[in-house]
Structure 1
Amino acid sequence: MDFEPWWLIFVPVLFALGWLAARFDIRQMLRETRTLPDSYFRGLNFLLNEEPDRAIDAFVEVAKLDPETTELHFALGSLFRRRGEMERAIRVHQSLLNRSDLPAAEREHAQHELAQDFLKAGMLDRAESGFEQLKDTRYALPALRSLIRIYESEHDWPRAIEAVKTLQGLVDEPVPQIVHYYCEQAQSALTAKPADVEAAHKALDAADHALATTDAASSKGAKVRTAMLRARLALIEQDPKRERLYLESVMTDVPEFAGLVAEQLLANYRGSNQAPAGLEFLQKQYARHASLDLFNVVFRELRVQQGAATAWAFARGALRSHPSLLGLDRLLEAELANGEGDSDHGPVPGADLTLLRSLIHKHTQRLDRYACRSCGFQARRFYWQCPGCNGWETYAPRRLEEIE
């Protein structure tokens, strides 16, 4: 295609059109800028200067001057909630909901934000009501997850289970904590006066069914808890063989949890007049998978059955293989509990065990705890659900000294 000289006439025309378009855009932008209150720019300036408190005050003034700025209201509400100013966050979102001209999509958004405000403020009944109103909206999924958290907080396990089933119907993802919900039901049935054996059986059967559909790697703790509750149920039903079967299954299948069941297993052997066999089983278990809690049980039982010399010989060998201040602290505690002046106290003649233990104990107090792997919350007892972050199975079944 040949170039025609007369085409050059279009160059200045196109340039002129571009210039006019730019002028129009600049004027339009200037007109829009003039309509914005000065408070808006002051707020931006405060944000840039890292003065969030003054920025919030400026944006609140903008929202008062121009109530149509819904996005600014949402931003302010979120800021207030993150800063813990729940009363102000609730007031902002309620003012949006009170507007009759608010579009349906923004009304749903405001309802979701308000429910989150109530949840963070600890007003669980109002939060629950707010999230339930969102079941048929685009916020159905996050609302359902929040409802599950509320039911957990209220220990309303039947409703938590139903909510999880509804969630699984909406999204194809496992929810392993449902096993613990059933375990909580079983535990409540077993601690009732009298124990509701039938309800416990029903809950544990449901837990086993849920376990069958859960990934094995993510359900170790749930499996252990179910076996422990089965053992407790067998004890109530006076079936020691079945109780022992469940406890030994924990020892062999998930040995890292052996310390949680060692004392109960030993009591089972004692009840059947087989204490030496029980001690032998625990010693073999310790040789395969050493742990501090298991060491403590074996040492105490050795002292009862075979005397102080044998118990101390075991302790010396165990502490050489697995050095532990907590282990030393535990065995000194056991020795002192049995009487420092006993004639068979021979393994450490002349030692001031009270002084020695007090010195060691000061250093071991912070190590004698379980810790959440998620939030770091520490506790002296083992929890299936962390009291700090409410996560399930986040506690390692070993003391801090063993995992540091």
Structure 2
Amino acid sequence: MDFEPWWLIAVPVLFGLGWIAARVDIRQMLSETRSLPDSYFKGLNFILNEEPDRAIDAFVEVAKLDPETTELHFALGSLFRRRGEMERAIRVHQSLLSRADLPQAEREHALHEIAHDYLKAGMLDRAEEAFLQVEHTRFAVSAVRALIRIYESEHDWPRAIEAVKRLTALVDEPVPQLVHYQCEQALSALSQKPAKLDVAQTALDAAENAAGILKVQRKGAAYQARIAILRAALCRAKGESGPERVYLESILSDAPDYAGLVAADLLENYRQSGHTDQGLAILKSHYALYPSLDLFNLVFRELRSQEGYGPAWAFAREALRSTPSLLGLDRLLEAELAVDHRAQADSPAATAVAQADLSLLRSLIHKHSQRLDRYACTQCGFEARNYYWQCPGCNAWETYPPRRLEEIR
């Protein structure tokens, strides 16, 4: 390569231009730094010293001195919401919304944030109003999900169902709780007096369709058991005992773990047709394959009533030997103590254990077993004596196994 003399001039010129540019950048940075309030640097210092409360106070002061710092407002509002200081979070976002010069994109952002503030604060009406205002913006998916939670908490099942339909139009993903929304609608129709059977039928048909759309179909799923239970209840309300029995028995085969929830209804169905012994035999056979405390209690009581002390206690001894259970023994003793005193006097049990001793034994066992006589949510641990399809503690669906605490520990 040939050397050109003009290079001797170009190199110093380029160096000088770089030096001038660097000086300009430094001066601009220093100018911007001087324009920042002292509270900003105090806040940074507090963060470095791990003093978050004092840092927040310093940044709040910055926000007051410089209202243009919208990003700082959003950061503060989000921080207040996470800390549970809902009143302060709402005030921060309201101050943004009160600005007439706020760009539309940032106004929508502020509406979305204050809607979450209202939701966490339990102000559902205001939260719903705010989410509806951003439902057709870039926050649409988040807003519709929040609306679903609001309608669900209010047990407004028709609006929850409509919100789910809007969500599925935005994102291609299944919404399993839609099945339960339809079931809740059916249950509400059946609970009315007189029952709205047509409404319940339509809701259960919709639940079946929603269940069919789910990509993951699994045998024994809670929603499948629930649909069958409600179908049986609908048939019972119509006086159709045959179809009712079909639905109840389908649970024994398709969702066997849920047999304890329908055993009493199935036995009553057989009793009304004059075939109680057949119904009891079916439940007894099911217990041999899928033992549960609820089923044990029902079978023992029915055996005691139909066949007497001997067969009932033979079943109980074998059941407790194969599946030891303190709660099962407690229920067994409770059933014995509930029998008429004269009937007990004629039984072998009365000759072996005095009535007072049997009562004392049961009270001691009950003291320790009553804490196990509960269903428990697998997600939050909330315990309840009754079975729930939706946890009252964390509001999650299908988190209650259909078994008592003693059986799952």
TM-score scaled by structure 2? Answer: 0.92
Aligned-partner Cα distance in 2 for 1:98–1:218? 54
Match in the other structure for 1:396? 401
Match in the other structure for 2:348? 346
Gaps of 5+ in 2: none
The percentage of aligned residue pairs carrying the same residue is: 70
Q: Does 1:384 align with 2:386?
A: no
> Does the aligned pair in 2 maintain the 1:176–1:218 contact within 8 Å?
no
TM-superposed CA distance for 1:260, in Å, is 0.6
1:56-71 alignment, distance < 5 Å: 56-71=56-71
Match in the other structure for 1:291? 292
Aligned-partner Cα distance in 2 for 1:23–1:327? 85
TM-superposed CA distance for 1:284, in Å, is 0.5
Q: Does 1:237 align with 2:242?
A: no
Deviation string for 1:66-125 (max 9, x for gaps)?
111111111111111112221111111111011111111111100000111111111111
Q: Does 1:113 align with 2:113?
A: yes
1:177-326 alignment, distance < 5 Å: 177-214=177-214, 215-217=216-218, 220-326=221-327
TM-superposed CA distance for 1:149, in Å, is 0.8
Query: SS of the residue aligned with 2:55?
Result: helix
Q: Which amino acid aligns with 1:30?
A: L
Deviation string for 1:174-201 (max 9, x for gaps)?
1111111111111111111111111111
Q: Does 1:103 align with 2:103?
A: yes
Cα gap change, 1:201/1:33 in structure 2, threshold over 3 Å: closer, same or farther? same
Cα gap change, 1:28/1:318 in structure 2, threshold over 3 Å: closer, same or farther? same
> Does the aligned pair in 1 maintain the 2:119–2:127 contact within 8 Å?
yes
Aligned-partner Cα distance in 1 for 2:319–2:235? 33
Match in the other structure for 1:369? 374
Match in the other structure for 1:167? 167
Query: SS of the residue aligned with 1:398?
Result: coil
Aligned-partner Cα distance in 2 for 1:184–1:288? 31
Query: SS of the residue aligned with 1:216?
Result: coil
> Does the aligned pair in 2 maintain the 1:300–1:334 contact within 8 Å?
yes
> Does the aligned pair in 2 maintain the 1:183–1:204 contact within 8 Å?
yes
Q: Which amino acid aligns with 2:304?
A: R
> Does the aligned pair in 2 maintain the 1:308–1:344 contact within 8 Å?
no
Gaps of 5+ in 1: none
Q: How many pairs were matched up?
A: 404
Match in the other structure for 1:143? 143
Aligned-partner Cα distance in 1 for 2:218–2:330? 34
> Does the aligned pair in 1 maintain the 2:219–2:255 contact within 8 Å?
no
Query: SS of the residue aligned with 1:354?
Result: helix
Aligned-partner Cα distance in 1 for 2:21–2:87? 48
Query: SS of the residue aligned with 1:365?
Result: helix
1:5-24 alignment, distance < 5 Å: 21-24=21-24
Cα gap change, 1:2/1:268 in structure 2, threshold over 3 Å: closer, same or farther? farther
Cα gap change, 1:28/1:119 in structure 2, threshold over 3 Å: closer, same or farther? same
1:120-131 alignment, distance < 5 Å: 120-131=120-131
Q: Which amino acid aligns with 1:150?
A: I
Query: SS of the residue aligned with 1:95?
Result: helix
TM-superposed CA distance for 1:320, in Å, is 1.4
> Does the aligned pair in 2 maintain the 1:309–1:346 contact within 8 Å?
no
Q: For structure 1, which segment, 63-72 or 218-227, has the greater mean C-alpha deviation from structure 2 after superposition? A: 218-227
TM-superposed CA distance for 1:318, in Å, is 1.0
> Does the aligned pair in 2 maintain the 1:309–1:347 contact within 8 Å?
no
Aligned-partner Cα distance in 1 for 2:295–2:317? 15
TM-superposed CA distance for 1:329, in Å, is 1.5
> Does the aligned pair in 2 maintain the 1:132–1:143 contact within 8 Å?
yes
Cα gap change, 1:224/1:13 in structure 2, threshold over 3 Å: closer, same or farther? same
Deviation string for 1:19-61 (max 9, x for gaps)?
5555444433332222221211222222233332222211111
Cα gap change, 1:315/1:6 in structure 2, threshold over 3 Å: closer, same or farther? farther
Match in the other structure for 1:357? 362
Cα gap change, 1:235/1:212 in structure 2, threshold over 3 Å: closer, same or farther? same
Aligned-partner Cα distance in 1 for 2:62–2:90? 18
Q: Which amino acid aligns with 1:396?
A: P
Cα gap change, 1:218/1:71 in structure 2, threshold over 3 Å: closer, same or farther? farther
Superposition RMSD in Å = 2.3
TM-superposed CA distance for 1:358, in Å, is 2.0
Cα gap change, 1:308/1:8 in structure 2, threshold over 3 Å: closer, same or farther? farther
Cα gap change, 1:122/1:219 in structure 2, threshold over 3 Å: closer, same or farther? farther
Cα gap change, 1:56/1:345 in structure 2, threshold over 3 Å: closer, same or farther? farther
Cα gap change, 1:218/1:6 in structure 2, threshold over 3 Å: closer, same or farther? farther
> Does the aligned pair in 1 maintain the 2:80–2:88 contact within 8 Å?
yes
Q: For structure 1, which segment, 341-350 or 33-42, has the greater mean C-alpha deviation from structure 2 after superposition? A: 341-350
Cα gap change, 1:316/1:17 in structure 2, threshold over 3 Å: closer, same or farther? farther
